[in-house]
Chain A
Amino acid sequence: MTDQPNIAHDQELDIVRPISQTRRALRAFLRNRLAVAGTVLLLAFIICAVFAEQIAPRDPLEMSLQAQLLGPGESGYILGTDNFGRDILSRLIYGSRISLTVGLVVVSIATLIGLTLGLLSGYYGGAIDILVMRLVEMFASFPFLILAVAVMAVLGPSIYNVMLVLGIVNWPIYARLVRSQVLTLRETPFVEAAKAIGANDARIMFFHILPNCTSALIVTAAMSMAGAILATAALGFLGLGVQPPAPEWGMMLNEGKDFLRRAPHMITFPGIAIMLVVLSLNFIGDGLRDALDPHIRN
């Protein structure tokens, strides 16, 4: 922040006003090249997901006996075709819809559960705290993919079960995070002030404490969305996730592994797609953390 003054002159009124936290963070974020690159990349994937019908050159489900296992560029298929003669590029474009939706829903479910339990546990302490923290420990004791695999095996593979399972498996991170924030915030003067003027517990939790947890939550959300997308594809790869013929990236890898020698492009491109989305979210998460965390800023 040394090259930028912390205050800006408002010339008309000739008063000095401080730059808001949000604008300062935004500036720091925009100065981070990797974070900006990540944002652009993610935007590209979002556009693919939203306008898949307009962007995709072909129907992602349309099979063609004449066009099986074509390499990239052959007969006008830019990224080639799979063993059913389906266009891989179109499948990838439609697949971004699945990955991003699942990622978003998973993070929402996990945040909702984790936030509520974390707030209650940190704010009230005592028996609730012990109960919630034991629950967190239990869930954290499972390597989360194992738990997801076991639950998926029972519930049966479907996109809704993937969302549900990954949401349930991911909530402890949020509960821990929010709880630790609440524990420190609970003792701050502004919370005492709110109590003194007679604000009730719900008001203090949601209007005074929660807004101060948001920056930490946003960073975690970006990172755990990356994790959720990787896990969705992992389940798809194991055949326990989204079911055929949906163009899910992990499942595309699974279908491609039987044609490794004849059609390596069947696994190359879905893998690159997964990696790029995850990479973009990780860059954004890193950038946000550096921009939002005043301790790292120097």
Chain B
Amino acid sequence: MLSYITRRLLIAVPVLLGITFITFAVLNLTPGDPIRMMLATEKITPDVAETLTEYYGLDRPWYVQYARYLGNLLRGDLGISITSRTDIASSIASRLPNTILLAVSSMFLALLIAVPVGIISATRRNSLADYTSLTAAMIGVSMPSYWLGLLLLLQFGLRWKILPIWGIGHLSDGLWDFISHLILPSVTLGTGLAALLTRLTRASVLEVLTQDFVRTARAKGLRERTVLYKHALRNALIPVITAAGLQLGYLLGGAVIVESIFSWPGLGRLTIQAIQKRDLPVIQTATLVFAVSFVLVTLLVDILYVFVDPRIRYD
């Protein structure tokens, strides 16, 4: 077990290195010099431009720049935003928790809907309830989240005025303030996922119900309820949990859109704002943080998998 974790961590190293290279390459090897752009729009003076160019080593060959970039990363120096001239590490540290909060609450919401609906759908296969939930799930999978977000914002925020549409709530302003700000963004982000997980839960429960151990359980006269909840469900939910874990990484990505609709002060919004200002170091670092969190979440899910499903052995 320990050797498995070590091996997984070691494999993650070249992947992480590759990620740093991709983020570096994407943003450094392409035309478009942000400093020259700021100079042209007279946001900075020529001597500031020179200092910045030197600080980022933008006048050096790419491999020197990459080595410097890596060295800085390893020392925890994520660089300085070109436009706001603040420390990127601290602006990411203040926004990452907001994005995680949004992703986790969306995931919670999605599971809350998907698991019961998926189970009902599977146990009453081909019933009206099954068809309804399947159709709803298909629509949910196909609906663009940005569209759903706008519709929710219009209906609940602008027309009925019952939910806030802007920013994040604070616990210091009361629990409702905190939760009410979370509702629309979480529903927007969670709906597609709920649909996906509903389909998966249904398929998984159906699959497990055909297994021999379920037939045995029924044959020895257990009540259907016991068979379903004690025998079938525990096994059926394993793939659902894995998929949910992996989707957590994608939720971080989906946050880019949802955060920009609801002005949620997270990493996604930071990225979009940086793109609009062409603030390369911020774009680069935010992309890197997204990718690294994705790798770590995947790794965590793979490891937790062993505890959830004791049949799995990594030797």
Contacts and interface: CB of A to CB of B under 8 A. Distances in A.
B23 A137 contact: no
Interface stretch (B82-90, B113-121, B229-237, B246-254): B246-254
Contacts of B298: 141
Interface in A236-269: 237-238, 240, 250, 253, 256-257, 260-261, 264, 267-268
Interface in B11-29: 14-15, 18-19, 22-23, 26-27
Contact of A142 (B19, B154, B254, B257): B19
A230 B140 CA distance: 13
A134 B18 contact: yes
Contacts of B290: 142-143, 146
Contacts of B249: 143
Interface stretch (B145-153, B169-177, B301-309): B145-153
A274 B144 contact: yes
Q: Interface extent on B, as a size class?
A: 35 or more
B158 A260 contact: yes
Nearest to A264: B154
Given A146-B253, A279-B142, A238 B32 contact: no
Interface stretch (A20-28, A71-79, A148-156, A184-192): A148-156
- Residues of B contacting A: mostly: helix
Interface in B122-174: 138-139, 141-144, 146-147, 150-151, 153-154, 158-159
Contacts of B30: 154-155
Interface in A105-148: 134-135, 137-139, 141-147
A96 interface: no
Given A134-B15, A146-B291, A150-B26, A271 B141 contact: no
A145 B144 contact: no
Q: Interface extent on A, as a size class?
A: 35 or more
B182 interface: no
A145 B286 CA distance: 13
A209 interface: no
Contacts of B271: 146, 149-150
A278 to B, nearest CB: 4
Interface of A: 34, 134-135, 137-139, 141-147, 149-151, 153-156, 226, 230, 233-234, 237-238, 240, 250, 253, 256-257, 260-261, 264, 267-268, 270-271, 274-275, 278-279, 282-283
26 contacts: A135-B18, A138-B15, A138-B18, A138-B22, A141-B294, A142-B290, A143-B253, A143-B254, A143-B291, A147-B287, A150-B26, A153-B275, A234-B146, A234-B257, A237-B144, A237-B146, A238-B256, A238-B257, A253-B144, A257-B150, A260-B154, A261-B154, A267-B154, A274-B144, A275-B144, A278-B143
Given A134-B18, A237-B146, A270-B147, 18 more contacts: A138-B18, A141-B15, A142-B19, A143-B249, A146-B256, A146-B271, A146-B287, A147-B26, A153-B275, A154-B283, A237-B144, A257-B150, A260-B158, A261-B154, A264-B154, A267-B147, A271-B143, A274-B144
Q: Which 5 A-B pairs have the closest CB atoms?
A: A143-B253, A271-B147, A138-B18, A153-B275, A278-B142
Interface of B: 14-15, 18-19, 22-23, 26-27, 30, 32, 138-139, 141-144, 146-147, 150-151, 153-154, 158-159, 249-250, 252-254, 256-257, 260-261, 271-272, 275, 278, 283-284, 287, 290-291, 294-295, 298
